[in-house]
Amino acid sequence: MFLIRRKCFTTRANAWKVASILQKICNEYEEQGRSEATIYVSGFSTPAEDYSVSAEWTQESLDAIVYEKVPNEIRENLSSELMGLVDFYEIEFHEVVTKEKLDQRKL
C-alpha cells in the first residue's frame, strides 16, 4: 500500500479556496473508487514556513494516470481553476510500513 500526498503551495488569501477545489477533485476520484482523501491547510492558522494545502490518500499500487480516465469536471474546470491559485505543487509517494512487510524483511 502507498500513501500519496499532493501539496499545493499558495498564498494565505487563497488557502481555503485551494482546499475547496482540492476537496472537489478528490471527491471526483473517490466516485471512481479511489480511497477517501484527507485535505489539510498549513500556515493559515498553524505555524508553518509557507501556506500550503495538501490532499493525501492511499492506493494499493502506483499507476500512471490515464488521461481518458480523469473525470471530465477535473479536466474541463477544476484543474485549471486550481492551477490559477497555486504557485507550484509537489507530489510525494510513500510506501506504507505494515507488519507483513517487516516480517518479509525479517525485521
Position 12, amino acid: R
Q: Average pLDDT in the 84-95 region?
A: 98
CATH number at residue 65: 3.30.70.100
Q: Which residues contact 41 (CB under 8 A, 6 or more apart)?
A: 15, 16, 19, 52, 53
Tell me the pTM: 0.90
Domain that holds residue 85: 2-104
Give per-residue pLDDT as tens, 9-44. 999 999 999 999 999 999 999 999 999 999 999 998
Q: Average pLDDT in the 74-79 region?
A: 96
Per the structure, the count of domains in the chain is 1
Confidence of residue 50 (pLDDT cuts 50, 70, 90): very high
Average pLDDT, the chain: 96
User: How confident is the model at residue 70, as a pLDDT?
Assistant: 95
